[in-house]
Amino acid sequence: MKYSPAELSYLKESLKASPPIRPDARLETQLRPIEAISNILPTANGSARIRASDGGECIVGVKAKVVPTSSTSELINVDVEISGLKENNSLASTLSSIFQSTLNSSQSLRQRLKLTSRFSFKLFIDVLVLSNQSHPLGLVSLTIYLALLSTKLPLLTSSTDDSKAEEVPVFHDDWDQARPLCDIPVTQSDSSKKSDSHWTPPLILLMAVVGENIFIDPTNAEEQVASTGLFISWSNGSISAPLRTLDIGSTDPQGISSTVLSKAYSIVEQCGQEISDSLTAVYVQDEDASSSDF
């Protein structure tokens, strides 16, 4: 949506103020309401759909395929399609590369996809953005997180050691025996029980910088007056790589100061765990509902 210079200046001043005033009266650490559901697609190993309150909608399907480990360098393939834009659109390819590199750099995910000494699962994460008003990075990240939580891989019944003789992996026939890709994240209260092998998908949170203030989950209007966008990843209960600036369509792009960076850190530390916990709650609820159907 187009805003007049007067509107933009009013918006910018109120966001720059201390404490800042967001047009929808949200806190700096507050996300807009979303509607999330997991496990919606029968033909995918894991799937999720998230609708944002501004009409944005994203669907993610995760499919796994057995491949010889030597044949592929990247075990996770992320493909983003944005409805209404061309296939080789720069926004879609930027999003694909951000998620692909973040997920592929996770050593424990690679470990989990390994089947035998010769074979691995390759994950295909296909993202469909049906509509978006603001930058879709945050929405896509939440949906990928939920889809990966709901991903189940069939149980391997053949031997895991095929270093001497090549053996094609054989899987259990019963889908109920499938193992989940991720561990259900422990809530903050019992995080002491967390083991080293514990893995949950990374969340990438998008923020907009206006003056000395920084806001999570910016709306389209906030993006326009922002000096730059910034995203930080949150995984396994702590901030992790990547941390990057991103062009979110600002009308007046500028650099960021170090105080903003530390503010961004504290925002993600405040809300990262809460976001992953609430998405986990959605998954657990959907899982209970689907198991009670039978």
Partner 1 sequence: MNLDSTFLSVNISVSPFSTVDRKKRPRNDRRIQECAMSIQRTFQEAIMGHLHSRTEIVISLHVLAQDGGFFAACINATSLALIDAGVPMYDYVSACSTALYDSISPLLDPNNAEESDLPFLTVATIGKTEKVSMLLLESKVPLDRLESLIAVTISGCHSLRDQMDRQVRKHGHLRITKRSE
Count of CB atoms within 10 A of residue 258's CB?
7
Q: Could you identify the residue written with the tokens 């209960």?
A: 237
Burial of 271 (0-12, 13-18, 19+ CB in 10 A): buried
**Segment interacting with partner 1 (CB under 8 A) among 40-48, 99-107, 189-197, 251-259:** 40-48
Using CB under 8 A, count the residues that bind partner 1.
20
63 interacts with partner 1 by CB under 8 A: yes
Toward partner 1, which CB reaches closer, 61 or 211?
A: 61
Alpha-carbon distance of 164 to 83, in angstroms, equals 48
55 interacts with partner 1 by CB under 8 A: no
41 interacts with partner 1 by CB under 8 A: yes
255 interacts with partner 1 by CB under 8 A: no
Query: For partner 1, which residue of 4, 70, 87, 195 counts as binding (CB under 8 A)?
Result: 87
Toward partner 1, which CB reaches closer, 65 or 172?
A: 65
Q: Could you identify the residue written with the tokens 């514990």?
A: 198
In whole angstroms, how close is the CB of 261 to partner 1 at the nearest point?
37
44 interacts with partner 1 by CB under 8 A: yes
* Distances from the Cα of 287 to the Cα of 180, 183, 284, angstroms: 12, 14, 5
Q: What is the 3-state secondary structure (H, E, C) of 209-227?
A: EECCEEEECCCHHHHHHCC
**Segment interacting with partner 1 (CB under 8 A) among 19-27, 60-68, 214-222, 284-292:** 60-68
**Segment interacting with partner 1 (CB under 8 A) among 2-10, 41-49, 157-165, 264-272:** 41-49
Query: For partner 1, which residue of 8, 37, 128, 256 counts as binding (CB under 8 A)?
Result: 128
Please provide the DSSP assignment of 169-212 as one string: --B-S-GGGPEESSPPPPPGGGGGG--TT-----EEEEEEEETT
Which residues contact residue 265 at a Cβ distance below 8 angstroms, ignoring those fewer than 6 apart? 232, 239
Binding residues for partner 1 (CB under 8 A): 40-44, 47, 59, 61-63, 65, 79, 81, 83-84, 87, 124, 126, 128, 130
